[in-house]
Structure 1
């Protein structure tokens, strides 16, 4: 079935180039560095795809780290829906907008925006396959000019995503109804070389699927067929799977890969390891 905005998972640099000037397309630069939070903004200022808006992971794609009761929600909790809508409208996003998110990190941050838009029912959103490098490989220049978009009018609709919280994960330790997949690097999963969170290890029973394993050597995603084969060795029923990582960001990369693979319905644990390990009463495992 032909649709006005067919890009719902990935878009190639060539297809973005062919459509980038359309008035109902919005491009968002999601570059970031967990160890240097100002690096993404600096990279954007130095040069970005023409008309791209900048999304700050901490400010635009995350919410407050503390809950109303003072509990720590993790390093990158989901933003409040009203705050997310306000940000998207500021970027000029409306209900009929095709959004394209990109970064320079294999989609690890762009996938977060992809998931967030789907969480408010907007499925016309895709990640630039291969990121900024793929765009530049098309011979396209970057610009330092920042756009001044007219306000958009997007509204929240029924979510196309699912999420769970720490309580759900705790209950699952006994029920084992859900399989938890951790997107962090294997050494961090084992509790080694932890430099971001105060405690190393992983949630008991979790399996490891490093998000970078979703990519080919050139930084583009593997084919849907290959991703389906690889994820099927970990999960038999996507709706009985929960994706997590360090703080709910790269878990979205695994969720995007599942969507590309045709494995729909897995949930996100937004607080992920950063929230889980903040409570000493929650069990942890080290090693494999």
Structure 2
């Protein structure tokens, strides 16, 4: 069972295994059709496509009208239905990949753990690693197969905006922000119209988890870099712009042997939508 990362070579050895499900998570936040277009042009053999905006996100507004962020979690029942539509069973090994350093694939990895499915991994190095190994792509669309995955006890935890508000300033929990430094400082209003970060948060850009070749750094290096930031992982909260790239930091923590941090799904996009919540700017 692969539960964090898998190499292109290892995946190639199982690519025709009917009990494995490969999911293409390519996406572009500025061009919402780009991922599906890239999938149509060529994808890993037997891979299905996951739409970040629709299948891996839920309604942006709660029943009371409150804004939940740009990519809030879907209902678990809806996610289970999507996973079944991809042919995923309780015994399936799922491998997610993208072409963006794992920033979108890690979201699916985390969501599978959210519904209690441990056999979920991210292709280390993504599409580039697959092609660098001389492995072929396909334009064939796999035949539809219904899966029977069921919801089990979650392997991960989440916190709400209220939970975060309760803990900031008191030193009880660490908030780690996965956005780029300019967004964290409040200097990129194109992406974050309300700039800044949650008071007391620390910044760890998700791309800092990667080596120059686009693969994740070795576990020991990740641990050396992340442990001083998070302290006790069980007391750490991961967030980003909308709850997507925060999952990359959660995956890196898992690889580093530092499990147990929580995800704040609404992240900055939800937090800053309420002017009553405090905002900090600068480094």
TM-score by length of 1: 0.97
- Could you tell me which residue of structure 1 aligns to residue 34 of structure 2? 39
- Residue number in structure 1 paired with 2:264: 269
Aligned to 2:213: 218
Unpaired runs of 5+ in structure 2?
none
Structure 1 position 140, deviation (Å): 1.5
CA distance in structure 2 between the partners assigned to 1:112 and 1:235 by the alignment: 20
User: Equivalent residue for 2:91?
Assistant: 96
Look up the match of 1:259.
254
CA deviation string 1:196-224 (max 9, x = no partner)? 23201000000000000000001000011
| Match for residue 195 of structure 1 among 190, 209, 212 | 190
Cα deviation for residue 173 of structure 1 reads 2.1
Give the CA RMSD over aligned residues: 0.8
Aligned residues of 2:8 and 2:129 also touching (Cα < 8 A): yes
Task: For 1:1-288, list aligned pairs within 5 A.
Answer: 6-288=1-283
- Distance in 1, matches of 2:160 and 2:249, equals 18
Q: CA deviation at 1:177?
A: 1.1
Q: CA deviation at 1:174?
A: 4.3
C-alpha distance in structure 2 between counterparts of 1:91 and 1:59, whole Å: 14
Residue 149 of structure 1, CA deviation: 2.9
Q: Size of the alignment, in residue pairs?
A: 283
Q: Quote the Cα distance in structure 1 between the aligned partners of 2:193 and 2:187.
A: 12
- Length-normalised TM-score, structure 2: 0.99
**Aligned with 1:243: secondary structure?**
strand
Question: What whole-Å deviation, never above 9, does each CA across 1:123-175 have from its counterpart, x for those lacking one?
Answer: 10000000000001111121111112310000000000000010001111243
Structure 1 residue 276 displacement after superposition: 0.3
CA contact (8 A) 2:183 2:192 kept: no
Contact 2:97 2:126 in 1 (8 A): yes
Deviations 1:65-88 (A, max 9, x none): 000000000000011100000000
More off after superposition, 137-146 vs 199-208 = 137-146
Whole-Å separation in 2 of the counterparts to 1:30 and 1:54: 6
The alpha carbon displacement at 1:267 in A equals 0.1
